Amino acid sequence: MSLTQLPLLEQFVLLQAALVLFLSFGLLSQTRLLAAIHAFAWQGALIAAVTLTVAIAGHAHHLYFSALLTLALKAMLIPWMLHRLVRRLALERHTETLSHPALVSMAAVALVIFSYWVVVPIVAEELTFTRNIVAVSLAVVLIGLLMLVARQQAVAQVLGFMSMENGLFLAAVSATAGMPLVVELGVAFDVLVAMVLFGVFFFQIRDSIDSLDVDRLNRLTETEEETP
Amino acid sequence: MSALILILLLPLAGALALAFVSSVRWAGWINLGVAALTLAAALWLGWTVAAHEVVAGLHFRVDAFNVYLVVLTAFVGLTTAIFSRPYMRHVCANARISPPGVRIYHSMYQTFMLTMLVALTTDNLGVLWVAVEGATLATVLLVSLYRTPEAVEAAWKYFILCGVGIALALFGTVLTYFAAQQVLADPTEGLTWSVLYADAAALDPTVMRIAFVFLLVGYGTKVGLVPMHQWLPDAHSEGPTPMSAVLSGLLLNVALYAVVRLKMLVDGSLAATDTPHLAGALLMGFGLISFLVAGLFLHRQRDIKRMFSYSSIEHMGLMTFAFGLGGPLATFGALLHMLVHSLTKSAIFITVGHAAHIAGTQSIDRIRGLIRTQPAVGWSLLLGVVAIAGFPPFGVFASEFLLLTATIQTQPWLSVALLGGLAVACAGLFRHVHPMVYGTPPEGQQPVEANMLPVMIHLGLVLWLGLAIPALLAGWLDRATGLIAGSHLL
């Protein structure tokens, strides 16, 4: 079945999912921290919009709540916390140069292809919609992972971590019409606590190495002669 | 049911109360009291499960498999709390942490116990995920408690690696939920393990196959399977020692428990396909690699806690391998090994904590002559290592012997790798431990205030399990074996 034959609402969800993926690429290559945080906030808002669309399409009432939760948490609270931390750490003007920007983008493209390859076995039985949405959310998760590897700055790594969570939310909402409420609340709580702890760690890292460049955290290795 | 509520409420109340106690004296005693009450509640729960087979309630379900881990968790929680009291007083006396640090430490200790118990008793795969992630969040501040650059680095590594791993596990959970929604009459029950297990054969095998890979990598990160083990030695070596004891003794077990539960689901789903043992084969592969690699890394360590954390990876690998092997004998051996490894390893970490205080360092090269300075600590370390290396008459020998027998029965060639790995690990341990215990103590090395009671209880139990497993416990483990492997051993 081709994409144009899908119901309009499903096409709309796919469009939003594609935008989420696009923003993942944006996050990956954005070197200015504040701009990256804004991209992340837009990604969160899009996830909330997907949730709302699915809620309207499926008349699933608990998803209205879930959409609100996502909007509050992913599009407002976490970006705001990050914003505040960046200001308190005086990193507003911080830019980071990726060592191999083209290579990293190519790797991200490869991850998208890989995600589609992973879901190939599901093709035969499942609908075009589910296959696409699972592939896109897996790609968002993996690009988040790539961001953790490629970026050396702690705040950027946290953005990668949080965009992984966005990919998971996308999968949960669009492929399965939302997790049970108790699980969703638990996950949201964990994400929030994680964000608070990340904030604590930014200061601890800065106190210990005078910078947030986590590549300089390299004291613990296997080959060291004298472990301190 | 009331026992179940009690074991969850007690640590929760403890965590809340301890957040406000900054006197290390009082906090130690309250922590100990809460842990003791939790153990009493866990024993009560064990007794209820023995009488009724299954205790179930909203989102929670306790059967023979998890109840033994609940009791073990509460027990190790109590003995570590006994050890933690003098340990933290020593730490405070040396001004390594501040009063807020004391509050964080004790409150997070109980929060960690809570997440462990929730993860073990829950019937909902989503809640299981939330609890395992919660365990990371509860312990990550403890790893960086001393605020040294190394501690902060270890904590950041732990946070990012486990966070990423556990995120992949959530993706696997979502896929499982997706597979469940296609077949279950009530799709909202799609994360309830018991419902899924009853209908496992109907779950779409292609989706479950993909889901299991994500789940295994995710929870496997927390088990410490190579190559996702990088966080484990750092977190163990830089955190306070009671934390290392509960991380090794409890957290790794709980993560493995999650993997085994999910393997049961996937086995049910794949039974009718052409790869019915895929999950088992993956576990065997990861397990064996972890076992061999960790055994080799043991030789290169220079930090005593790092060395024993590699020994933990090695043993977790062995258990993962055994659960992958399947069959009643291997499963029984693996369950027994979980039990004796937890007891022995937490005893060792407790002893190591005292040894590090005596020498004032964790560097293996500078810990010398423990037996002459403080015989109780020296002998405990020696006996603990003898036990963990798998010498008779200790319980680890019994479980490793069972595992080896099971391997020879089903995969004879792999027993060569197992025996080789055991020998390498044993040599690695003794090479480092011998001079620490027997060498000449440096000038002016003084004994420290140490409570060796938990160590003696643990090693005594391990010895007892090696000589004769009590009929009650054997029956208990056998029922769990029946649940996991489908047939009983005894």
Can you give the residue ranges of every domain in chain B? Answer: 1-123, 291-303+328-489
Does residue A227 lie in a domain region? no
Q: Please tell me whether residue B199 adopts helix, strand or coil conformation.
A: coil
Q: What pLDDT is recorded for position A123?
A: 59
Which of A4-13, B142-151, B249-258, B420-429 bottoms out in mean pLDDT, i.e. has the lowest? A4-13
What was the pLDDT predicted at A124?
A: 56
Which residues of A fall within a CB distance of 8 Å from B167? 141, 144, 161, 164-165, 168
Q: Inter-chain contact A183–B130, Cβ cutoff 8 Å?
A: yes
Residue B181 contacts residue B220 (beta carbons within 8 Å): no
The stretch B156-182 carries a mean pLDDT of 91
Place B98 in a pLDDT band, splitting at 50, 70 and 90: confident
CB contact under 8 A, A187 and B154: no
Q: Is B446's Cβ below 8 Å from some Cβ in A?
A: no
Pairwise CA distance, residues A221 & B163, whole Å: 21
Provide the number of structural domains found in chain A.
Answer: 1
Residue type, B293: V
Q: Which residues of A touch B303 (CB under 8 A)?
A: 227
Spatial distance between the Cα atoms of A41 and A147, rounded to a whole number of angstroms = 16
Taking the CA of residue B137 and the nearest CA in chain A, the distance in Å comes to 7
Look at B152 and A180 and tell me if their CB atoms are within 8 Å: no
Between these two residues, B226 and B220, which has the higher pLDDT value?
B220
DSSP annotation of B60? E
Q: Over range B434-449, report the average pLDDT.
A: 87
**Alpha-carbon gap: A203 to the closest alpha carbon of chain B (Å):** 10
CA distance B184 to chain A (A): 13
Q: What is the DSSP string of B360-425?
A: TS-BGGG---HHHH-HHHHHHHHHHHHHHTT-TTSHHHHHHHHHHHHHHHH-HHHHHHHHHHHHHH
Half-sphere exposure of A119 (CA within 13 A, CB side): 24
Nearest chain A Cα to B128, which residue?
A: A183
- Beta strands B55-57 and B60-62 are antiparallel
Rounded Cα gap, residues B281 and B278, in angstroms = 5
Contact B302 A204 (CB under 8 A): no
- pLDDT value for A125: 56
Residue B384 · residue B342 · CB < 8 Å: no
**B444 Ramachandran zone, left/alpha/beta (phi>0; psi -120 to 50):** left
Q: In angstroms, rounded to a whole number, what is the distance separating the alpha carbons of residues B259 and B208?
A: 14
Partner A contacted by B130 (CB < 8 A)? yes
The DSSP H or E segment spanning B62 is strand B60-62
Cβ–Cβ below 8 Å for B234 and A222:
no
pLDDT of residue A223: 53
Instruction: Determine the longest span between alpha carbons in chain A, in angstroms.
Output: 65
Asked whether residue A219 is assigned to any structural domain, the reply reads: no
Considering CB atoms only, which of A118, A186, A204 is closest to B147?
A204
Which among B301, B251, B477 has a CA at the least distance from the CA of A224? Answer: B301
Q: Which of residues 233-272 of B touch A (CB under 8 A)?
A: 234, 237-238
Residue A126 is predicted with a pLDDT of 55
Selecting from A176, A186, A220 the residue whose C-beta is nearest the C-beta of B234 gives A220
Q: Does B363 have pLDDT greater than 50?
A: yes
Report yes or no: A200 at the B interface, CB cutoff 8 Å: yes
B191 to chain A, any CB pair closer than 8 A? The answer is yes
Q: Find the mean pLDDT for residues B120-130.
A: 94
More confident residue, B192 or A131: B192
Q: pLDDT digits over B52-94, tens only?
A: 888 888 889 998 899 999 999 999 999 999 999 988 888 888 8
pLDDT at B257: 95
Question: Do the Cβ atoms of B134 and A190 come within 8 Å?
Answer: yes
Query: Looking up tokens 């997440």, which residue turns up?
Result: B115
Mean pLDDT across B290-309: 92
Q: Do B148 and A183 touch (CB under 8 A)?
A: no
A119 Cβ under 8 Å from any chain B Cβ:
yes
Residue ranges of A 56-85 with Cβ closer than 8 A to chain B: none
pLDDT of B206:
87
* Block residue for tokens 């998971």: A168
Nearest CA distance, A102 vs chain B (angstrom)? 24
Distance CA A165, CA A158 (A): 11
Option in B150, B159, B167 nearest A168 (CB) = B167
How many residues comprise chain B?
A: 490
Contacts of A227 in chain B (CB under 8 A): 237, 302-303, 306, 362-363
Distance CA B342, CA B393 (A): 17
Residue A218 lies in a domain: no
Is B195 within 8 Å of chain A by CB? no
Contact A161 B163 (CB under 8 A): yes
Find how far residue B87's CA is from the centre of its chain: 21
Please state, rounded to an integer, the average pLDDT across all residues of chain B: 91
The dihedral formed by the CA atoms of B63, B66, B68 and B71, expressed in degrees to the nearest 10: -110
pLDDT for res B97:
82
The verdict on whether omega for the bond into residue B227 sits within 30 degrees of 0, i.e. cis, is yes
What residue numbers bound the domain in which A123 lies?
A: 3-93+100-210
pLDDT at B442 over 90: no
Q: Is residue A193 part of a domain?
A: yes
The answer to whether position A112 is within a domain reads: yes
Asked if residue A29 is part of any domain, the answer here is yes
Predicted pLDDT of residue A128: 73
Residue A85 lies in a domain: yes
A192 in contact with chain B, both atoms CB, cutoff 8 A:
no
Please check whether residue A190 touches B, CB under 8 A: yes
pLDDT tier, B335 (very low <50, low <70, confident <90, very high otherwise): very high
pLDDT in tens, B264-299: 999 999 988 888 889 999 999 999 999 999 999 999
Chain B from 303 to 342: CB within 8 A of any A CB: 303, 306
B159/A145 CB distance under 8 A: no
Position A226 scores a pLDDT of 45
Q: Tell me whether residue B415 is exposed, middle or buried, using C-beta atoms within 10 angstroms of its C-beta: 0 to 12, 13 to 18, 19 or more.
A: middle
Q: Does A217 reside within a domain?
A: no
Residue B295 has what pLDDT?
93
pLDDT at B217: 94
Question: Which pLDDT value is given to residue B455?
Answer: 93
> In this structure, what DSSP letter does residue A211 have?
S
Q: What is the pLDDT of residues B252-264, one digit of tens each?
A: 999 999 999 999 9
> Measured between CB atoms, does B12 come within 8 Å of chain A?
no
pLDDT computed for residue A216 by the predictor: 76
From the list B133, B150, B206, which residue is nearest A219 (CB)?
B150
pLDDT along chain A (228 residues), means of 10: 75 91 92 91 94 86 89 94 92 80 92 90 67 90 92 90 92 83 90 93 87 78 51
